[in-house]
Amino acid sequence: MGRIGTVIALVLVVYSCYFPGSHTEITAAQEAVITTALSGFDTAGIQSVIQYIDNRYGVWGARYATNSNIINYQNYLTGLFTSYGYTDITLQQVQCNDPGYTSAPGPLYMNNIIVVKDGAGPPVVVIAHWDSVPNCPAIDDNFSGCAGVLEIARLAYSLNFENRLVFILFGFEEESLLGSSLYADTMSERPKSVINLEMIGFTSPKENPYPGTDLLMGFPTTGDFVGVFATDFSETLGLNFIYAVDTFVPDLKYYFMITDQNFGNNPLLSLLMRSDHTSFWEKKVPALLVTDTAELRDGAVYHQTSDNYLSFDPVFHERITRAAFAALCIEAGIQP
Ligand SMILES: [Zn+2]
């Protein structure tokens, strides 16, 4: 386990003694394939995609459904998946009847973008939402997650896995998780596991305590870690993510928590239940929230016009994306 990981994990073992799980073992050959794949990480490419989206804000506007230019963003995103080689790309229309971020009447419409890489076993799914609130470039919340999904999909395209892979960019996360709820309610196959990349690009010298986090021993006070949140029925997935960090991205600091199903007594409840992984937790599908907890950080740009590339941390973002890719490989049974 990583430096900071060890300290907190010790605490968590105490905290989560109900769930004595362990991570999935991988072979040396699998580890070598992951390492080789990560050596192809396209840092310049993914940063130019993020900068392009930041630049488009001034031309196309926000990724909110009242904006008719939203189709340009959708076409750009599906175009990227196509450029990586993917052909199984579908759009699932989501309807929002009672929008909360605009006085404009519903219904509003937006699409979930669903990309499949075929494989035998139940799907391992990596998700992020591509919508934003109005009047916000939304680079951390949540184009950072979208960029993570894109680069992971690009790296995974030429590799082989036991399990099917599904990459989803959800619409209407900001509107009561409508996109992921619709998907979870209508999915033809129950996923093996889901990794949610929700704000993975913002760091700060100071992490402010969240009501109750003082109860959580070891909750970091420096805003340079990634929060990794699992439920008890998602424990193996969580341990695989932490194992991936320690093995492939040891410079990434993390805070790992396994919370039992009784969310009621968890001080981070509202933080934990506010993104698309929740739609899968509600179906008891193993799912993981991976987030920078941006709202808790000094200088937070959350839902503000300052949530742009200037406040973005590309090194931090790359480390999380690398870790999520490695975790996906472990979860989906990468074939040497
Ligand atoms: Zn978000």
Distance of CA 155 to the CA centre of its chain: 16
The pLDDT-based confidence of 217 (bands split at 50, 70, 90) is low
CA of 102 to the centre of ligand 1 (A): 17
Looking at this protein, which amino acid is placed at residue 208?
A: N
CA of 18 to the centre of ligand 1 (A): 31
CA atoms within 13 A on the CB side of 256: 32
Can you give the pLDDT at residue 215? Answer: 62
Can you give the pLDDT at residue 263? Answer: 53
User: What's the mean pLDDT in 92-117?
Assistant: 96
CA of 66 to the centre of ligand 1 (A): 18
CA of 276 to the centre of ligand 1 (A): 9
Can you give the pLDDT at residue 138? Answer: 98
CA of 110 to the centre of ligand 1 (A): 16
CA of 211 to the centre of ligand 1 (A): 20
Can you give the pLDDT at residue 10? Answer: 42
CA of 30 to the centre of ligand 1 (A): 33
pTM, two decimal places: 0.93
CA of 165 to the centre of ligand 1 (A): 22
The answer to whether position 240 is within a domain reads yes
CA of 31 to the centre of ligand 1 (A): 32
CA of 199 to the centre of ligand 1 (A): 6
The answer to whether position 2 is within a domain reads no
Residue 194 CA to residue 211 CA, distance in Å, equals: 28
Can you give the pLDDT at residue 136? Answer: 97
**Unique residue bearing structure tokens 């909750």:** 219
Helix axes 28-38, 144-156, angle to 10 degrees: 120
The total number of structural domains in the chain stands at 1
Residue 188 CA to residue 166 CA, distance in Å, equals: 13
CA of 174 to the centre of ligand 1 (A): 7
CA of 145 to the centre of ligand 1 (A): 8
User: Is residue 319 within 8 Å of residue 249, measured between CB atoms?
Assistant: yes
Any idea what the CATH number is for the domain that residue 233 is in? Answer: 3.40.630.10
Residue 193 CA to residue 50 CA, distance in Å, equals: 27
Report how far apart, in Å, the C-alpha atoms of 13 and of each of 146, 172, 187, 287, 297 are. 32, 36, 34, 20, 26
The answer to whether position 54 is within a domain reads yes
The answer to whether position 249 is within a domain reads yes
The pLDDT-based confidence of 213 (bands split at 50, 70, 90) is low
User: Is residue 108 within 8 Å of residue 65, measured between CB atoms?
Assistant: yes
The answer to whether position 234 is within a domain reads yes
The pLDDT-based confidence of 214 (bands split at 50, 70, 90) is low
> Helix, strand or coil for residue 82?
helix
Lowest mean pLDDT among 94-98, 102-106, 321-325: 102-106
Range of the domain at 208: 7-332
Can you give the pLDDT at residue 212? Answer: 65
The answer to whether position 99 is within a domain reads yes
Q: Report the number of secondary-structure helices (H) and strands (E) in the chain.
A: 10, 8
The answer to whether position 1 is within a domain reads no
CA of 142 to the centre of ligand 1 (A): 5
CA of 131 to the centre of ligand 1 (A): 8
The answer to whether position 305 is within a domain reads yes
- State yes or no: pLDDT of 229 exceeds 70: yes
CA of 14 to the centre of ligand 1 (A): 31
CA of 332 to the centre of ligand 1 (A): 25
